[in-house]
C-alpha cells in the first residue's frame, strides 16, 4: 500500500487484503469505523485508482425482523468494491460475473464531460434562444442529466455572470414557471448591459402567449378584464363565473378578488339577496345596472328557489328507491362541464328539435338491468317532475326518447323506441281527471302511458314502501324532499330512515331544524323584490 498515508485508508484497504470483494456495510463491520467515514474513504480510494467498484449496483431482497410489527421485506441496492490488482493494466476486471471498473473508465464511458459542463455548453451552443429548465433536462437526459442537476449548477453560473435566470417575480423573491426557471446565455463579448438586454429579449420571446408575472397578478388582471368586458355588454358578472374561468381554488379566488378590488377602485361589488356576489365597473350607466340586477335576481329565483331544490330532491328519491329495489341496476354516469350537475343526469343528442330543444335534451337517470346470463338487458330512462303531470308532459318525454340518437330508431311505422328500452315517468301525482282519446276510445293517463311503453311512478308508490317497512303515515317521501337541503341529504335521510324506521319522525325533525336557514332564504326569494329600490337609495353603490 505504497503511497497510502491516511490511517483510515490503511484500515479500509486492509479489509481487501483477502482478495475478495466487499460492500460498504461489510467494510464498516470489519473496521469498526462509522458509516460516513467508510463511505468517504471508499469514494476517495476509488477516485485515486486504489480500488475498483462494481459497474452496476447489486440488488437483493432483505428480510428484516421488526419485532411486533413482524418481518419486513425490503429491496436493497449497494455496490461491491475490490482491491485493484497491481499487475492489472486494464481499466476493468470481472470476478464471479461482476464487472469492476475504475472511476475514470466509468466516467469516460458514460460522461466524457461533467453535467455542469454539459448544461453550460448546451446554453452556449443555443445562445439565440432561452430554455426552461425542464427543456434542458429533456434534451440532456440521454447523457445522465436529471432535474436536480440543472438548477444546482445553473446557480453557480449565475453568480459568475454566465447565465440569466428568470421566473415569476414577486415582491421579495422569484419562483419558477410551471416548466421551471427560464434560462438564457449571457454573451461575454457584449457589454454587461447589452448582454442582459439581449437575454431578456430572448426570454420575452419564449414567454409569448403565457403568464410572465406571478399567478396572483395574472388572476387580478384577468378579473379586471372580465369585469370590463361584462360592463361593455351592460351586464354584471358573478363570482361563480370568475371561478369557472380562472380554474383556481376557492382560497386563491378570494385572494385575487380582494386584491383586484384594492388595486382598482373603479371595480365595484354588490350582493343579491345578501348572498350572491356580483361585480361591475363604475362606468356602467345606472339604468343599465338596475336592469342587469333585475335580470340576475329573476335568474336566482328560478335556479336557487324552493321548487328547483325540491325537483332535484325528487330525482334523488326516485333513484334511491330504484337502486334499493332493483337487483343488478347499473346507472349510467356522464361528465358535465358544469361541476354542480349530478353525473347521473344524462344529456341526449337529438336528431330533431323537440319542444324548443334544438340539439340536446336532458333525462334524469338511465340504468340498465341484466336479468340473467342468457336474458337480454333492459335499459330504463327516467324523467321526473315535481307536480301534477298531464298528457303533454308524457308526450314530450316520449318524443325526446324517440328522436334521440341513443334510444330512437327509424322503422317502417315511423320513429320508435329501440328494442329493450323502457321509459319511466316519476311524478308526485298524475292528473286523474285527464282522459286521452285514441281511436275514439277514452283512456286514462296511466293506460295511455302504458300503450307508449312508459311506466308511471307516483309518490304514493314510494310511501307505500315506507309503510310496509314500518314508518308512520306522517313520514312521506314528499316531506323528505321538502325538508332535505340537496340530493345528497335526500339519500342520507332515506338510508337513515330505512335503517331505523321507528325513529323516522325524529330523523326528519332533525333535518328540518338543521335546514331552517335555507327555508328562510327561500322565503326571502319568493317575496316581492325590493332590491332595486334599495340599490337606488343606497349612495354607497356608486361611490
pLDDT digits (tens, 9 = 90+) for 406-459: 899 998 888 888 888 999 988 877 777 777 877 777 888 878 888 888 888 888
pLDDT digits (tens, 9 = 90+) for 183-212: 999 988 889 899 999 999 998 888 876 655
The mean pLDDT value of the chain amounts to: 83
Half-sphere exposure of 3 (CA within 13 A, CB side): 4
Distance CA 36, CA 308 (A): 69
pLDDT digits (tens, 9 = 90+) for 112-151: 578 888 999 999 999 999 999 999 999 998 888 888 889 9
Average confidence (pLDDT) over 224-252:
87
If you write DSSP's letter for every residue of 102-165 in order, what string do you get?
Answer: -HHHHHHHH-SS-HHHHHHHHHHHTTTSEEEHHHHHHHHGGGT--HHHHHHHHHHHHHTTSEEE
Show the cell assigned to 497.
Answer: 330512515
Alpha-carbon torsion 388, 389, 390, 393, what sign? positive
**Fold exhibited by the domain 306-523:** Trna Endonuclease; Chain: A, domain 1 (3.40.1350)
Show the cell assigned to 84.
Answer: 485493484
What class has domain 7-110? mainly alpha
Q: Which residue has the higher pLDDT, 536 or 504?
A: 504
Strands (E), 172-211: 174-175, 182-185
Cβ-based neighbours of 196, under 8 Å, separated by 6 or more: 164, 186
Q: Among 196-200, 258-262, 429-433, 480-484, which stretch is predicted with the lowest mean pLDDT?
A: 429-433
Q: Do domains 7-110 and 115-206 have the same CATH topology?
A: yes
Average confidence (pLDDT) over 53-62:
86
pLDDT digits (tens, 9 = 90+) for 342-362: 788 888 999 988 877 888 888
Q: Among 254-258, 305-309, 408-412, which stretch is predicted with the lowest mean pLDDT?
A: 305-309
pLDDT digits (tens, 9 = 90+) for 378-419: 999 998 888 788 888 888 889 999 999 989 999 888 888 888
Q: Backbone phi, then psi, for 144, in 5-degree steps?
A: 90, 5
Proportion of the chain above pLDDT 90, given as a percent: 25
pLDDT at 338: 62
**CATH code for the part of the protein at 115-206:** 1.10.10.10
Distance CA 348, CA 211 (A): 38
Distance CA 443, CA 450 (A): 10
Which three-class secondary structure state does DSSP give residue 51?
A: strand
Domain chopping of the chain, boundaries: 7-110, 115-206, 229-247+257-301, 306-523
Amino acid at each position: 500500500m505504497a503511497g497510502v498515508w491516511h490511517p483510515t485508508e490503511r484500515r479500509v484497504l486492509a479489509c481487501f487484503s483477502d482478495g475478495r470483494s466487499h460492500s460498504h456495510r461489510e467494510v464498516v463491520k470489519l473496521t469498526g469505523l462509522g458509516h460516513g467515514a467508510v463511505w468517504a474513504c471508499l469514494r476517495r480510494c476509488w477516485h485515486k485508482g486504489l480500488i475498483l467498484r462494481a459497474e452496476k449496483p447489486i440488488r437483493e431482497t432483505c428480510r428484516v425482523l421488526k419485532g411486533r410489527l413482524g418481518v419486513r421485506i425490503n429491496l436493497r441496492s449497494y455496490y461491491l468494491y475490490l482491491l485493484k490488482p497491481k499487475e492489472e493494466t486494464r481499466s476493468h476486471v470481472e470476478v464471479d460475473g461482476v464487472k469492476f471498473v475504475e472511476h475514470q473508465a466509468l466516467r469516460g464511458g458514460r460522461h466524457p464531460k461533467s453535467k455542469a459542463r454539459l448544461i453550460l455548453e448546451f446554453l452556449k451552443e443555443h445562445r439565440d434562444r432561452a430554455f426552461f429548465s425542464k427543456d434542458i433536462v429533456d434534451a440532456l437526459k440521454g447523457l445522465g442529466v436529471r432535474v436536480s442537476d440543472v438548477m444546482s449548477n445553473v446557480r453557480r453560473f449565475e453568480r459568475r455572470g454566465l447565465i440569466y435566470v428568470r421566473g415569476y417575480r414577486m415582491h421579495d423573491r422569484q419562483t419558477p414557471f410551471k416548466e421551471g426557471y427560464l434560462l438564457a446565455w449571457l454573451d461575454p463579448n457584449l457589454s454587461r448591459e447589452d448582454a442582459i438586454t439581449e437575454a431578456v429579449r430572448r426570454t420575452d420571446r419564449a414567454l409569448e402567449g403565457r403568464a410572465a408575472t406571478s399567478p396572483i397578478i395574472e388572476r387580478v388582471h384577468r378579473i379586471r378584464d372580465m369585469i370590463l368586458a361584462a360592463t361593455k355588454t351592460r351586464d354584471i358578472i358573478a363570482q361563480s363565473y370568475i371561478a369557472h374561468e380562472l380554474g383556481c381554488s376557492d382560497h386563491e379566488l378570494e385572494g385575487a378578488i380582494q386584491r383586484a378590488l384594492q388595486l382598482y377602485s373603479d371595480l365595484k361589488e354588490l350582493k343579491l339577496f345578501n348572498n350572491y356576489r356580483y361585480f361591475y365597473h363604475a362606468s356602467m350607466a345606472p339604468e343599465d345596472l338596475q336592469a342587469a340586477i333585475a335580470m340576475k335576481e329573476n335568474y336566482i329565483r328560478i335556479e336557487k328557489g324552493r321548487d328547483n331544490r325540491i325537483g332535484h330532491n325528487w330525482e334523488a328519491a326516485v333513484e334511491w328507491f330504484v337502486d334499493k329495489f332493483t337487483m343488478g341496476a347499473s346507472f349510467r354516469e356522464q361528465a358535465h362541464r358544469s361541476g354542480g350537475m349530478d353525473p347521473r343526469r344524462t344529456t341526449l343528442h337529438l336528431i330533431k328539435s323537440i319542444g324548443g330543444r334544438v340539439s340536446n335534451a336532458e333525462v334524469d337517470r338511465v340504468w340498465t338491468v341484466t336479468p340473467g346470463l342468457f336474458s337480454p338487458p333492459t335499459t330504463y330512462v327516467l324523467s321526473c317532475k315535481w307536480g301534477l303531470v298531464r298528457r303533454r308532459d308524457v308526450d314530450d318525454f316520449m318524443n325526446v326518447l324517440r328522436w334521440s340518437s341513443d334510444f330512437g330508431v327509424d322503422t317502417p311505422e315511423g320513429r320508435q323506441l329501440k328494442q329493450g328500452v323502457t321509459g319511466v315517468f316519476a311524478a308526485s301525482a298524475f292528473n286523474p281527471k285527464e282522459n286521452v282519446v285514441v281511436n275514439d276510445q277514452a283512456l286514462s293517463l296511466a293506460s295511455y302511458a302504458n300503450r307508449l311503453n312508459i311506466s308511471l311512478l307516483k309518490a304514493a308508490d314510494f310511501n307505500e314502501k315506507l309503510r310496509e317497512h314500518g314508518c308512520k303515515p306522517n313520514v312521506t317521501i314528499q316531506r323528505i324532499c321538502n325538508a332535505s337541503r340537496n340530493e345528497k341529504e335526500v339519500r342520507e335521510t332515506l338510508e337513515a330512515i330505512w335503517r331505523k324506521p321507528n325513529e323516522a319522525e325524529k330523523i326528519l325533525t332533525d333535518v328540518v331544524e338543521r335546514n331552517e336557514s335555507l327555508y328562510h332564504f327561500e322565503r326571502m326569494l319568493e317575496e316581492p323584490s325590493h332590491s332595486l329600490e334599495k340599490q337606488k337609495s343606497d349612495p354607497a353603490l356608486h361611490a
